[in-house]
């Protein structure tokens, strides 16, 4: 048992930066989606376009609060539904 713990600790230490990088990539992508949604669909009063989706509005707020995983699919769907191109995912 002691041997397996000795091997697990270096592996865990090695994998943590990759997990943090993936989370920051998701946060950046979520921010880009939110910005595009807000720019093109968020301020639609008086333009004669479809009303905002309540789900997408909540997703923008959740994204700002750090919930990228729950926000990304909703914002992607809203932008695709409006036939807008998704921002590149880095």
For residue range 7-23, list pLDDT tens digits in order: 555 554 555 454 444 46
Q: Residue 59 corresponds to which tokens in the numbers above?
A: 């997703």
Q: pTM for this structure? A: 0.69
Residue 4: pLDDT band with limits 50, 70, 90:
low
User: In this predicted model, what pLDDT tens digit does every residue of 34-55 receive, in sequence order?
Assistant: 999 999 887 655 555 556 789 9
Q: Using alpha carbons only, what angle is made at residue 24 by residues 58 and 11, rounded to the nearest 5 degrees?
A: 130
Q: What is the distance between the terminal CA atoms of the chain, rounded to a whole angstrom?
A: 40
CA angle 70, 60, 34 (to 5 degrees): 105
Q: Where are the beta strands (DSSP E) in the chain?
A: none
């Amino acid at each position: 048992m002691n041997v397996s713990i000795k091997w697990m600790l270096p592996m865990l230490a090695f994998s943590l930066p990759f997990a943090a990088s993936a989370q920051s990539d998701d946060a950046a992508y979520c921010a880009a989606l939110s910005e595009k949604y807000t720019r093109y669909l968020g301020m639609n009063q008086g333009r004669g376009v479809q009303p905002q989706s309540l789900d997408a509005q909540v997703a923008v707020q959740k994204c700002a609060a750090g919930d990228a995983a729950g926000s990304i699919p909703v914002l992607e769907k809203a932008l695709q539904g409006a036939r807008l191109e998704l921002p590149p995912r880095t």
